[in-house]
Amino acid sequence: MTVTTDVPAGTDDLHLEQPYAYRRRELVEPDWRRLPGYRDVTAEEWASAQWQRAHCVKNVKQLRELMGDLLEDRLYADLERDQAERATMSMLMPPQMMNTIVPAGPADGQSWTEAFYADPVRRYMLPVFSDRRTDWPSHPHATRDSLHEHDMWVAEGLTHRYPTKVLAELLPTCPQYCGHCTRMDLVGNSTPVIDKLKFDLKPVDRYDAMIDYLRRSPGVRDVVVSGGDVANMPFKNLEAFVARLLDIENIRDIRLATKALMGLPQHWLQDDVRAGMERLATVARARGVHLAIHTHVNNANSVTPLVADATTAMLEAGVRDVRNQGVLMHGVNATTTDLLDLCFSLLDGAGIMPYYFYMCDMIPFSEHWRVSVDEAQKLQHGIMGYLPGFATPRIICDVPFVGKRWVHQIEEYDHERGVSYWTKNYRTGIEKTDPEALSRRYEYYDPIHTLPEAGQAWWREHGPTADHDAALDKAAASRAAASAQAATPAQV
Ligand code: SF4
C-alpha cells in the first residue's frame, strides 16, 4: 500500500510516499509443525509452561535434533565456534521463541540455512561466530559489568544508581538467554569465555537485606524487581517479596521485569500465576501503588497471539500497564521501519506500551550489534510523529556511571573518534563525597568500525585493543579446550 501526502493545488501529479507506511498487522502464531522436532507436538503441549521449559534448546545437539537436516552443517559449526570462543551467554531458547525464527518458512529461492542466518531473532538469541566483527570484536573500553551496577550495590543484588529508584536483582537466571545480555557478568551459566559472578548470600538472606535497606531509605519510591527474569522465581517467593515491598510506605512504583512475557508467555498464562498477580494488583491498587510489568521484545516477529493473551491476562489481573524496553541492535531492529513495525505490533496487537529502546551496552564481543550515538539520534528522529506521543519510545544511551540519557542529551561529540560526553544531574551512591560528580563529563564510545578512517586509525594507534582482544582470545581458547574435554551441556 502506498500512502500519499495531501497534495497542494497545482501539484496534483505529485504522489510522494511517506518514509513509513503504516499497516495494521494481524498477529499470527507461526505453525510449529513446520520444524521437524515439533511435528508431533500438540496444542495442549505447546500451551504448557512445563512442556516449554522442558524442551528448551540448550546446545547445538538439541538444535540439530529440532531442525533436522533443514540446516547445513556450516551453520552448526559456526554456532559451535561462537559458543566456544565468543559467547558471553549460554544457549537457552524456549520453543515459543524458536518458533518465531523464520516464521513463515524461507522466501522463494532461499534455503533454510540462508533464512536462518538472516533472521532477526536468531541474530541475537543464537549468535554465530561469523556474525561478529573480526576487526574490532570488542571495544577497547568494553567491560563485563559495563553499567557498573555491582559498584552501586547497597545490599547484594540491590543497585541504588538513581536518587529515587533501585534495581533489585532477585535471581541470576532467565527462561531464555539473550546473546547481548547487559548483565552477562552475573546472569546465566558460565561460558567458555566468561566465568559468571555468583551471589554469596542465600536468596532468603539477600531479600531480607534488600527489604531492610528499603525500609531505611524513605527517599526511594520506585523498585524494579528484576534478575535475571522474575518468571524463573517460584511464584510464591516472588509474591512474598512484592508483598513486602507493598508494605513499605514510601514505595509507590513496582515494576516486574520479565522477558518471558514474550519468550515464555505460557508462564504468565498459568492459573496460579494469574491468581497470584491478581492478589498483588488488588493490594497495590488499594494502597495507591503502581504495579507494572516491563518486558523486552526486540522484533515484531516475536509478537504473537500468545504474547497478546499473556498481556491481556496481566492487565485483567489488574497491573497498571505492560511496557516494552527493547534493545537497539544491527540486524535485529536498527532501522526506522523495524522499530515502527515493532511498536505498532506491540501497541495495536498486544496492548504493550512501547517505552524505551536502549543502545546495546559496551560488553565484550558486542560490536557487531552496537550502533553509534549518531545512528541512534537519526533513528529517534525517524520514529517521531507516527505513534501517539505517549507510546513513542525514547532511544536511550545507558552511560557508564551516569545512567539513562536520551540520545539527544549529549554535551559534546567527537565524531571522528566516536567519543560522546555526557553529564549527570544526581549523585549515585558511590559519589556522595565527590564534589565533581555533577560537573564531570562522562564518556561513551561508538563502535570503531562506524568511524571515519582517521578515527579508526587513531584507535589502531592508541586503543588498547591488541592486548584486550588477545587476552580475551587467550582466555577463550584455553577455556574452550577445557570445556571440550568436559562437554557439559548448559543447564538452567
Ligand atoms: S532476559 Fe534480560 S536478563 Fe535475561 S538474558 Fe535476556 S537480557 Fe539478560
pLDDT digits (tens, 9 = 90+) for 156-183: 999 999 999 999 999 999 999 999 999 9
User: Percent of the chain having pLDDT more than 70?
Assistant: 91
Residue 260 alpha carbon, nearest atom of ligand 1: 1
> In this predicted model, what pLDDT tens digit does every residue of 66-95 receive, in sequence order?
999 999 999 999 999 999 999 999 999 999
- How do beta strands 419-422 and 403-406 pair? unpaired
Q: Does the beta carbon of 137 lie inside 6 Å of ligand 1?
A: no
Residue 228 has pLDDT above 60, yes or no: yes
pLDDT of residue 465: 52
Of 272, 207, 197, 271, nearest in space to 244 by CA: 207
> In this predicted model, what pLDDT tens digit does every residue of 13-45 receive, in sequence order?
678 899 999 999 999 999 999 999 999 999 999
Which residue among 58, 167, 171, 178 has the greatest number of ligand 1 atoms within 8 angstroms of its CB, and so is best to mutate?
A: 178
pLDDT of residue 491: 26
Written as one letter, the residue type at 8 is P
User: Percent of the chain having pLDDT more than 90?
Assistant: 85
Q: Are 55 and 373 in contact (CB under 8 A)?
A: no
Q: Does the beta carbon of 174 lie inside 6 Å of ligand 1?
A: yes
Over residues 113-122, mean pLDDT? 98
* DSSP conformation class of 4: B
Q: How confident is the model at residue 4 (pLDDT cuts 50, 70, 90)?
A: very low
Query: Nearest residue CA, atom 7 of ligand 1?
Result: 181
Over residues 315-344, mean pLDDT? 98
Query: Nearest residue CA, atom 3 of ligand 1?
Result: 228
Over residues 226-246, mean pLDDT? 97
Q: How confident is the model at residue 146 (pLDDT cuts 50, 70, 90)?
A: confident
Residue 489 has pLDDT above 60, yes or no: no
Compute the distance from residue 180 Cα to the ligand 1 centre, in Å: 8
pTM given for the model:
0.91
Average pLDDT, the chain: 92
